[in-house]
A and B are shown apart, each in its own frame.
Chain A
């Protein structure tokens, strides 16, 4: 069965610092991988996705993620965090049909 683990429930970074949010997945075949961001009381916005090809994926708002098959990971990164990035981030794995979400990581940005 598919599963997604986001080991960090909360992360706090200083504005301007770099960010890495971890995501590990369990899936039998090559997965479809996604990162979504959710602001309080809002729906989910797609940041980026990986289906195949180049393992380093660029997304919106300056985010990128790297697919590492050997580590079953799809970590999200941003070189310089802005205060507006404070939100909850969800990693998800799909099979082309359903999505399975991780528990989410809440990002706090301190000035």
Chain B
């Protein structure tokens, strides 16, 4: 139980284009989803928290117009990197939690490797 998927697993795009990453909770309803960014050999940095049906809350220093987050349903959240640039290349990981799998525990997706050329 408590499985989270992400799609795509890796994506390569040209500078200036937009990329959408999907995060799905497969077997539970995720009232809250989180988006993290992980730099090589570094820990995870929280980018934003999204509650279903509400606007996302962004961490300090994260550009909300660049990293668009939508959480329109209890099983799906999307992160859109707009006008991507090489410095946006990173490993993006989502997590989800819900009342039936432990509201205080986050379950993580497998991550998406974004490379911007």
Q: Give the tally of cross-chain contacts (CB within 8 A).
A: 44
What's the interface size class on B, roughly?
20 to 34
User: Chain A interface: which of B64-72, B73-81, B82-90, B109-117?
Assistant: B109-117
The minimal Cβ–Cβ distance linking B106 to chain A, given in whole angstroms, is 6
* Pair B43/A51 contact, Cβ less than 8 Å: no
* Beta-carbon contacts under 8 Å, B2-50 to A: 4, 6, 34, 42-44, 46, 49
A101–B111 CA distance with the chains assembled, in angstroms: 16
Q: When the two chains form their complex, are residues B108 and A104 in contact, meaning their CB atoms are under 8 A apart?
A: no
A103 touches B42 (CB 8 A): yes
The answer for the CA separation of A42 and B42 in the assembled complex, in Å, is: 14
For B105, list chain A residues within 8 Å (CB): 34, 46, 49
Chain A residues within 8 Å of chain B by Cβ, number: 21
A96 and B104 form a contact (CB under 8 A): yes
In the complex, chain B residues whose CB is within 8 Å of the CB of A99: 34, 46, 106
Task: Say how far A100's CB is from chain B's closest CB, in angstroms.
Answer: 8
Query: Does A90 contact B111, Cβ atoms closer than 8 Å?
Result: no
Q: B32 CB to closest chain A CB, in angstroms? A: 8
Would you call B108 and A41 a contact (CB within 8 A)?
Answer: no
Q: Is B107 an interface residue (CB 8 A)?
A: yes
Do A98 and B49 touch across chains, with their CB atoms under 8 A apart? yes
- Residues in A with CB closer than 8 Å to B46 are 98-99
Is B42 in contact with A41, judged by CB distance below 8 angstroms?
A: no
Contact (A42, B44) CB under 8 Å given A51-B104, A96-B104, A98-B49: no
Residues on B with C-beta less than 8 A from A90 are: 43-44
Residues of B whose CB lies within 8 Å of any CB of A are: 4, 6, 34, 42-44, 46, 49, 91, 93, 95, 103-111, 113
Report the 3 A-B pairs with minimum CB-CB distance, sorted nearest first.
Answer: A44-B108, A43-B110, A43-B108
